[in-house]
Structure 1
Amino acid sequence: MRITVDGLRTEWSTGRHCDPAEWDKHTKRVRGTKEQARSVNSWLDVLYSRAHACRQELYLAGKRFTPQHIRKMMQGEELEPPKMLSDVWNYHTNQIAGLLGKGYTPATLQKYRSVFRILRKFLFSRNKQDDIKLDDIDFQLVRDFDYYLKTEHKVKINTAVQMVKKLRTVMKLANEIGWAKRNPFAAYRAKKEEVHREFLTTVELNDLAVKKLKKRLVLTRDLFLFSCYTGLSYSDIVSLKAEDIRKGEDGGIWLETHRIKNNNRVRVPLLSPALRLIEHYKNYPRILDEDFLLPKISNARANYYLKEIMKEMGWTKWLTFHCARHTFATTVTLTNGVPIETVGQMLGHKNIRSTQIYARVTDTKVSQDMKPLKKKFARQELTLTQKED
């Protein structure tokens, strides 16, 4: 068989043979109607049709091709080395690395690299290889990875969902740039479990503010309180500078910054407890930069000291700076009648659903909202009683 494209040719055996005397060089088929002749001619017809089908497919793909490309397609070989999961994962993480500070943070890059390390361990336990062709990734593999995370890797349900979502993002990218023929996540539905978010009540917040603590714990306590009264995360607080304090249109003092996590703009009117903390640390010696609004300590040390503060307070609540943000959303703002849309803007959320995770309706808020209704029913009861009398 000979295939010629633009003057280039390739030849190979069809795998069939016949007596030269029976070969018709004009029709390029075996003469006669015997079984052998019909069998050979039928095979040659298949090859002829297959060659033209492969040529048409390559032409429609819009890429330059050679006779060798047609031959490889006919013989079931890969035209190019198949794209692997590692190829698209490295492509994605390299782009994230190049865009740090421009929509991505080092934490995001670290998460993707961490998930891929775990994914490679999963693939090795499943296939004895730590990589896989993109077109071999199917819905069953996605389900198996989710199961592996929850059982072998022993992560919580919501953590597993976030890790699987990173695989989904990468596979969606592979499909969009033409490296994968299908998206194995078409039928995937993530199921998160609702998590109880810790927050401090008004009484607990006040008790923490006046508690006499060991000197080394005071700064951590005050940074935690500042988070409770502003809704800022730890990384945002220790990055604040004097220039982030502005005078608002209402004449009050505002905090204007961008979240380190997602670069979302945050504008928060400062409450008096937060202003007192800024004033208190105005002349406190700074270690790294005099321009920082509040003193810095490492995140690891702050978390360690928060555990000590929990013991000092005699609480079982797990104190974290996430707890402080939930306290701002629930106790400081929502309970005091601040609309959830406003709370979301101050927390730096673009989606109200994110704010709903932080903000919880407390018993105090329920009591306040139910007071008018309770009074109404009380009046009705009184009227009914007087009529009966």
Structure 2
Amino acid sequence: MFYLKKRTGEDKPNIPIYMRITMGGRRTEWFTGRHCTESEWDGGAKRIKGTKEYARSINSWLDLLYSKAHSCRQELYATGKAFSPMHIKKMLVGEELEPPKMLSHAWDYHTNQIAGLLGKGFTPATLQKYKSTYRVLKKFLLLKTQSEDIRLDDIGFQLVRDFDYYLKADYGVKINTAVQMVKKLRTIMKVANEIGWAKRNPFVAYRAKKEEVFREFLTTEELRDLTIKKVKKRLNLTRDLFLFSCYTGLSYADIIKLKSGDILKGDDGGIWLQTHRVKNNNRVRLPLLAPALKLINHYKDFPRYLDEDFLLPKISNGRANFYLKEIARSMGWTKWLTFHCARHTFATTVTLTNGVPIETVGQMLGHKNIRSTQIYARVTDTKVSVDMKSLKKKHAGQELVLTTED
């Protein structure tokens, strides 16, 4: 309804016309932006008296507000959510029904859930990657928008492309690293869209293009040389953990958590290892090769902390990677030794080169699909030579008549 609202103590002839909406005992009111005198106002019709242009103009505006208020109410009914007269007013005058959700809200929401699920599908490394990506993203937004935060609905495909470009051209990370960081933003926007915080997903047209990267691995000769190499005493443990990874395909995080309960007797009567990967909780089950068993037996009497029953001694990941660089130098190698390199060595040199099917390799690496295994597995010259041996024999005695044209 519309009514005149005369302010106390004022004696002006023109009185503001107000609009009031009442629902369920609650009401809200606001100024319509129009005035009239008390004598011009029809208290019964709640409109201006007469048919003059002045009256028609104001009445037309009031009718429009009345119609829009009913339309807003119908839209709010359609959402299925509870609403009040204040929601109708905000919608009518173009205000946000709720404070706009920002990127920081969505990022905190998702990372807080990851933090609460550590060890239950998420790892501290995953949480750290989200935090580091967000730090870089805030630097980008500050350059782009002069603010470290942005409304979710203001994030469009162009901003996604600009962030991708910034990472590669200005921030200077490698292509595959940039792709992984942009994917973190994609996950956040997907979550925001699913819970109703963002009206659209700006990644619908985004296509990640990864760069083919050669993965380092040790050849059979290099693996043998590392096994018999006498290294400095302080490097022994790191070298042995690396070798254990080469012969099992386990990552550093999986190795240092192994306990005696993870060793069992297989159906073939051999000694097997069964565990779950820290990264994705996928089950890993594989027969232990002799070098891996020797390493376990070598450290079976190694001093443990308290009563923990770990198979192998622990060393920090950072220190292990530092020592691996020193080991590579002592071997005269230019290869970048990491525990990923060890997993690639297991997949390529230890298993595939010796005829183990790639499906079996994938199962032992803890992969759910063959595409993941193909990243680790490279066909070596030795494997090509073995596979081609029978074909070479077949064509060895084939005669070939060569003619030369005049």
Residue matched to 2:196: 178
Query: After superposition, what is the alpha-carbon deviation per residue over 1:299-348, rounded to whole angstroms, capped at 9, x for unaligned?
Result: 22211111111111111111111000000001111111111111111111
TM value normalised by structure 2: 0.89
1:268 is matched with 286
Q: 1:241 aligns with which of 259, 274, 277?
A: 259
CA separation in 1, counterparts of 2:41 and 2:299? 100
Residues in 1 aligned to 2:28 and 2:304: alpha-carbon distance in whole angstroms: 75
Q: Give the Cα separation in 1 of the matches to 2:35 and 2:225.
A: 96
Farther-moved stretch of structure 1 (290-299 vs 237-246):
290-299
Q: Which residue of 2 aligns with 1:363?
A: 381
Give the Cα separation in 1 of the matches to 2:393 and 2:58.
97
Q: Indicate the SS of the match to 1:293.
A: coil
The residue aligned with 1:188 is: 206
| Contact 1:287–1:296 (CA under 8 A) maintained in structure 2 | no
User: Secondary structure of 1:73's partner?
Assistant: helix
Matched, 1:40 2:58: yes
Residue matched to 2:164: 146
After the TM superposition, which segments of 4 or more aligned residues of structure 1 sit over 6 Å from their partners? none
> For residue 57 of structure 1, what is the aligned residue in structure 2?
75
Residue pairs, 1:1-389, within 5 angstroms: 1-18=19-36, 23-25=41-43, 27-30=45-48, 34-286=52-304, 291-379=309-397, 381-382=398-399
Q: Structure 1: which amino acid aligns with 2:117?
A: L
Structure 1 pair 234–289 and aligned structure 2 pair: CA distance change class (3 A): farther
Q: TM-score by structure 1 length?
A: 0.93
Equivalent AA in structure 1 for residue 24 of structure 2: D
Aligned residues: 384
Retained in 2: the 8 A contact 1:237–1:294? yes
Coordinate RMSD, CA, aligned: 2.0
Q: C-alpha separation between the residues in 2 aligned to 1:289 and 1:93?
A: 34
Tell me the distance in 1 between the aligned counterparts of 2:345 and 2:303: 29
* Cα pair 1:103 1:262 within 8 Å, conserved: yes
Q: Distance in 1 between matches of 2:226 and 2:104?
A: 49
In the aligned structure 1, how far is the partner of 2:193 from the partner of 2:25?
35
Structure with greater helix share of residues: 1
Residue 4 of structure 2 corresponds to which residue in structure 1?
none
Change in CA separation of 1:10 and 1:280 when aligned onto 2, cut-off 3 Å: closer
Structure 2 residue identity aligned to 1:174: A
C-alpha distance 8-295 of structure 1, shift in aligned 2 (>3 A): closer
Q: Which amino acid aligns with 1:232?
A: L
Q: Cα offset for 1:36? A: 3.6
Indicate how the Cα distance of structure 1 residues 124 and 321 shifts in structure 2: closer, same or farther if over 3 A, else same. Answer: same
1:190 CA displacement: 0.9
Gaps of 5+ in 1: none
Secondary structure of 1:254's partner?
strand
AA in 1 matched with 2:329 = K
Structure 2 unmatched runs, 5+? 1-18
Question: Could you tell me how far apart the structure 2 residues matched to 1:196 and 1:80 are?
Answer: 50
